[in-house]
Amino acid sequence: MATANTKKESSRKARLEIRLNPQAKEKIEQAAVVSHQSLTDFVVTSLLRVSEEALERQRVIHLSNRDRDLFLSALEADARPNRALRKAAERFKRSHR
């Protein structure tokens, strides 16, 4: 058991310090106890889960059926770029050389 703890502790090199009110700290500590986790493990796993959810929401676009159909129609359309779009593309190309 000491070996597992030593390995776990040696892999934790970064620190995250936060300030919170006493009521929030007490609630987090209680949740860690009922989850049968150390406070650190509970906080880390909870923050990682919420972080993954936030990143996933940012990566994934949810469309209604109507919006999906409009998007696909726009992709399939054989429309040529208008003058404003061509000018914007030229400005972009000049600024990213």
Number of H-type helices and E-type strands within the chain: 5, 0
CA-closest candidate to residue 40, choices 10, 16, 6, 7: 16
Task: State how far the alpha carbon of 27 is from the alpha carbons of 6, 20, 53, in Å.
Answer: 28, 11, 22
Span 2-44, pLDDT tens digits: 555 555 665 778 999 999 999 999 999 999 999 999 999 999 9
Q: Structure pTM? A: 0.58
Span 51-84, pLDDT tens digits: 999 999 999 988 999 999 999 998 998 888 899 9
